[in-house]
Amino acid sequence: MNSSVSPTHGEQEMSVWNGHYACTCYHPLFVFNQFGDLERCALRAGNVHGADGWKDVLDPVVLHEFAAGVVLGARSAGEHAAMWMTKM
């Protein structure tokens, strides 16, 4: 799980100035699997914190994999919450 910056030009909805990146942008959040495939993402306003809304993005991925009997190990980047789960 990691966030990124996506600069914008014009007046797109949710495109907001981000002082850290010094641009008007979106601040999307991504969840990738161990193979580098995108599992889920969320387009967020440009001025939100990097970890804002992480649980709402990650929960559906965890529930889907857990229901399928997959043993999960998750690593997060930056300020995102780290978690390890195993199905007994």
Q: H helices then E strands: how many in the chain?
A: 1, 8
Give the separation between CA 74 and CA 25, rounded to whole angstroms.
28
Higher per-residue pLDDT: 76 or 48? 48
* Average pLDDT in the chain: 83
User: Using 50, 70 and 90 to split pLDDT, how confident is the model at 86?
Assistant: very low
| Position 73 pLDDT exceeds 90 | no
| Position 85 pLDDT exceeds 50 | no
Give the separation between CA 55 and CA 47, rounded to whole angstroms.
18
Rounded mean pLDDT of 9-38?
92
pLDDT at residue 83, rounded to an integer = 45
The model carries a pTM of: 0.75
Q: Which residues of 72-82 are buried (b: 16+ CB within 10 A; e: fewer)?
A: eebeeeeebee
